[in-house]
Structure 1
Amino acid sequence: MDLLDWHRDRLSARRLSVLVKHLPRDSALNRELHGEGADWSVTDHLLAAAVDHLAAANWMFACVNSDEGDQPEAPTPVPRPEYREGDDGETDGGEPDAPETAAGPRPPDASNGRPALSPSQLAHFFG
């Protein structure tokens, strides 16, 4: 397909828009717009989240069942692709923007730079 056909009025703007929107995930345009994130599908993100949650659950179990001085180190999350500012409400690292509370944005946790969770949020997560 020749893109000059759009300037020659042989290709409509609507058809060009449809062709661009339905480019494969590994296309040069998607790689330019989304960087490494173009290679990650929803399944890849869900699998990384499942691995992170399993590692956190195992770590919590080990912390509860170990002596005070023999605490294991917290697990490191699976590396995610870098996202550029403005990609689907996410910033670098693929993490959604931190939610704000009435007092403003939550301060990051000192151990991993992520927002600190409140006790009510932890209770809601674990049911």
Structure 2
Amino acid sequence: MDLLDWHRGRLSARRLAVLVRHLPPDSATLRELHGEAADWSVTDHLLAAAVDRLAEANWMFATVNRDEDTEPLEYPKPVPRPGATHPDPQPSESGVHNPTHAELAQFFS
């Protein structure tokens, strides 16, 4: 596909928009727009979330079953996500991390 066809009148603006909208996730354009986040699919995000939950479950199990005299275990660090400037904080008192609007938008984009 030659993008000069748009200037020559052989490619409509609508067709060009459709082609750009449906670029593959690993295209140079999407990498330029989204950076490292373009490399992560929904599956990658779900796998990272599963690894984080498993690490938290192991931490909880080890914390509950440790001797009272030993030092508390360090809370597990989450798998780094693309575009994340800081790791997720420890869970709130309810034990649930509520994602921000930016985190949700990044996950679903």
* Counterpart for residue 74 of structure 1: 75
* Counterpart for residue 17 of structure 1: 17
Which sections of structure 1, spanning at least 5 residues, go unmatched?
A: 83-92, 96-111, 123-127
Alignment partner of 2:46: what SS? helix
Contact 2:75–2:90 at 8 Å: present in 1 too?
A: no
Alignment partner of 1:79: what SS? coil
Change in CA separation of 1:50 and 1:113 when aligned onto 2, cut-off 3 Å: closer
TM-score, normalising length: structure 2: 0.75
Identity of aligned residues (%): 67
Change in CA separation of 1:18 and 1:115 when aligned onto 2, cut-off 3 Å: farther
* Counterpart for residue 56 of structure 1: 56
Root-mean-square deviation (CA, aligned residues, Å) is: 2.2
Q: Pick 1 or 2: higher relative contact order, CA cutoff 8 A, min separation 6.
A: 2
Equivalent position amino acid for 2:28 in 1: A
TM-score, normalising length: structure 1: 0.66
CA distance in 1, matches of 2:24, 2:90: 34
Give the helix-richer structure, 1 or 2.
2
Equivalent position amino acid for 2:79 in 1: V
* Counterpart for residue 89 of structure 2: 114
* Counterpart for residue 90 of structure 1: none
CA distance in 2, matches of 1:55, 1:30: 32
Number of aligned residues: 95
Q: CA deviation at 1:118?
A: 4.3
Change in CA separation of 1:53 and 1:116 when aligned onto 2, cut-off 3 Å: closer
